[in-house]
Structure formats: C-alpha cells, structure tokens
Amino acid sequence: MGLIEVFGDFIAFGCGKNILIYNNRNSETHMLDVSEVNEKLEINEKNTGSNDEDKLHTYKSCETQLVSVRASPDGQYLAVACEKKVVTVWSTETWKLHCSHSLVKRPVAIAITSDSGTLLVADKSGDVYHFPLKGVTSENELPHLPYQKNSREERTEKWDDTKEKPLMGHISMLLDLTVTEDIRYIITCDRDEKIRVSHYPNSYNIEAFCLGHQEFVTQVSLLSKSNQLILSCSGDGTLRLWNYLKGLCVACIDTREQTTSLLHHYEKYMQQRINESEEARRYLPDYPAVMSFSLHSSCSEDILVAALLHRIPAVLLYKIKGTEVEHISTVELEAEPQVVAWSQSGELIVQHEDNEQPLCMFKLLNGKVQQVAGHDLVSLGRKHKHLFTEGQSWLNLDILYKQRYDNVADYMKKKEERLAMEKAAKDGLIPPYKKGRWSK
C-alpha cells in the first residue's frame, strides 16, 4: 500500500496517475507515465476485437490510480500496481517499460522476493499471483489482457498469463503481503483480522497463523534485523510485534495512549459520516485505524517506526529494541498525512494533504524530532505540487469495517412488546390473540 519507495540513489513518489522519480545524487527528476501504458492497453484490446464487452468496459471505466510501488532488492526494477488491473515493471537503468501483467481482479499490494526474481501480487478477491521478473519480455512490449489467447508467443520466455493460476488464496480480501529474506515463507494479512504464514512456493502448507487483532490488518512487514519478527497494524488501533514462526504476539502497541489530545479530529469526521448516513453507526468504531507504518534500521540495534492513523493529523514515532517497544514522540501536523517513509539517511518523508507544500521532512536528533524546512524534497513537493494533488485517490478504510448488529437488543424490545400485549389482553383492554400456530 506504499506510494513512496526509497531505493539506491532514487526515491519514487506515486503521484495520482504517474510516478515521479527523484535522484538523490544529482537532484534530477524523471516521470513515468503509467496512464499512457494503460491507454495502450485499451487500444490493444480494441484492435483485438474481443467480444467481451463487460471486461472492456471495466478497463475503460476504471481510472489509472496507483495502488502500490515496490523496487526490487537489486535496484534494477520498479514495479507499479494500479487500479486498472495491471502491474507494470520498469527498468531503473533506462526508465522504460520492462514488462506488464494483467490481472483478473484489482491489485491491493505487491512484493518482490529478495533475489529479485519473482513478483508477487495480491488482489482484492484474496488471491496471490506470482510472475517472473527477469528474461520475460522486451522493454517495449505492450501489455496484454489475460483472456487474450496466443498473446505471449513472441516473448523471450514463454510465459502465458492465461495459464497462470493463483499461488494461494484467502476467503477474505487481502490487504498486504511480504516474503521472508530466505524466500521460505510468504506472509499475508486480510480483512478478517488474520495473518497467515505459508510456505513458499508450496503455499498450501501453512506454517502458522498470527491471531489477536480485532479488526482488519492493513499492513505487515518484516523487521530487517530479525529472522523471526514481523510488525503489523490494524483497524483496531494497535500495532503488534509477532514471532511469525510460532504465531506468537510478543508486544502490542495501543496508539490510544499517544493520541488522546488528537481524537477530536476523528470524532468530528465520525459525526460527519453519521450525519450523512445513520448506518455509519453500525460500522464506524470509536477509535481510528492505523493505516500504515514505515520501518528504518538505525546504526544501533534499534528499529524506528513511523505510524499513521486514519483522520489524525499526526505521525507517531516508536523505537523497537529486541522485543521492547518504546514511544518516542507524536509529531502533530497541520494537514492529514497520507504516506510516510524513511530516507536512507534516517530522515522522515511525509506526504500530506497540503496543496501548496505536499511534502515535509523531519529528522530525529538526540531523541527529539525536528522539522527540516529547507530540504530539497520540500522544494520538490512545491515544484510538482500539481502532480501530488491532481487525481490523488486514497484507500477508504470505512469500507473495511464490518457492520455490527445488536440482535439481543432487538429481541428484548420485541419481548417487552409481546409481554405488554399479553398483559393488556389479560386486563381486557384489547381482545385476546393467538400467540402461535398451535395456540389454543
């Protein structure tokens, strides 16, 4: 779900329908036009003369909004997933299209194995697909739809999306996935509060479940300095540290302790949603969800965590040492943050809803957070503010909550009404009535 990716000398920003590449070494920028690739997809589909009008309409009506951006560990590829059911892979040497993969359902998250050999894609139906990254296609080949037969004959490697089957699947909607460094396990999280640890590629062999969250799990990530620890965040307002091989929660961070003075922002949003629709009471919780987080390994044994809460204009900073978690600071902002990431030098990059200055920078010195006003990325945000604000679309977390029904209250209300009618009939106030089919 991340739209800021830091790799090598580059930082990739997901800007609405395009990718803005910033080079830290020489401050040069480059634009990847993802929308143009999807327009070629529509033209290619039109020329094939497909009779499947419903699928064609779906491709044309869906906007090219970005979902996730991921760089391969070797820095050679940049994978971009968008709502138009397409994942494109770009070469970082030439910034040209390397290959593309069409999907049956909309992607929600992507991951790349540590050997940079395989691309993993999770979609909203709960399935995970895997595609090779190297030696698949020429960089200028147009993307193809998965139902076009004989569309992969000219590839250097015969890879046919029409024969591709899901690597694994959940019954519920997937929200994130990651792969361990040794490529032995694939870890997925879904809307049904579950984190599943499966063997890779034999994903039918499940190693463990990490159970404990009370709402949907929005993100799961490996801790780089540990082979057995992962961090997750959820709609229940907590972050949890897990030993994923044992399915054991070793630490739980309740963000309520750090956001008491900021809850009025979420309460205002919640009241607005209830005024628009009374049904919002059935699914909106009293506390905001943790949308996402970003990890940074410092020179010491500590791991820094920057977390974002839904509708809260602040960034929560934590420090993980071993299995101990400590709150460092709560950085309040003027606008609601949407994406957060750490630079390689340990500076915090925050993209927030500010039309004039969409990017802001912070650094941590002696345990205190300081804002960096004159940073190059701040100037970059002001220069390209139209890209950051135009056509930007964020995940609506409200649709992930499940509606709550109080069946006991409804039963007790009907019971009181029935007893009142029986008493009134006994007192002669109303004529007697039959209770049921076989009543005398």
Q: What is the pLDDT of residue 40?
A: 59
Neighbours of 224 (CB within 10 A): 12
Which H helix or E strand runs over 274? helix 263-276
Domain ranges of the chain: 33-166, 167-405, 415-440
Q: What is the pLDDT of residue 412?
A: 87
Q: What is the pLDDT of residue 13?
A: 95
First to last CA, the chain: 64
CB-side neighbour CA atoms (13 Å) of 364: 23
- Residue 220 CA to residue 353 CA, distance in Å, equals 25
CB 216 within 8 A of CB 288: no
Which H helix or E strand runs over 188? strand 185-190
- Residue 128 CA to residue 112 CA, distance in Å, equals 12
- Residue 159 CA to residue 137 CA, distance in Å, equals 9
CA 326, distance to chain mean position in Å, is: 25
- When computed from its CA atoms, the radius of gyration of the chain, rounded to whole angstroms, is 25
Residues 6+ apart with CB under 8 A from 181: 114, 222, 227
Neighbours of 237 (CB within 10 A): 21
Q: What is the pLDDT of residue 157?
A: 42
Q: What is the pLDDT of residue 388?
A: 85
| Cis previous bond, 166, omega within 30 | no
Residue 349 amino acid letter: I
Report the candidate in 239, 219, 101, 73 with the shortest Cα–Cα distance to residue 161.
101
Q: Which residues of the chain have pLDDT under 50?
A: 49-62, 138-162, 440
Q: What is the pLDDT of residue 132?
A: 93
Q: What is the pLDDT of residue 436?
A: 57
The fold of 33-166 is Thrombin, subunit H (2.40.10)
- Residue 3 CA to residue 82 CA, distance in Å, equals 11
| Tokens found for residue 102 | 């069409």
Q: What is the pLDDT of residue 39?
A: 60
Q: What is the pLDDT of residue 367?
A: 79
Report the candidate in 131, 89, 133, 129 with the shortest Cα–Cα distance to residue 105.
129
CB 197 within 8 A of CB 216: no
Residue keyed to tokens 């996402």: 292
Q: What is the pLDDT of residue 1?
A: 56
Q: Where are the alpha helices (DSSP H) in 299-433?
A: 376-383, 385-389, 407-426
CA 153, distance to chain mean position in Å, is: 34
User: Is 2.130.10.10 the CATH number for 167-405?
Assistant: yes
- Residue 386 CA to residue 384 CA, distance in Å, equals 5
- Residue 110 CA to residue 86 CA, distance in Å, equals 11
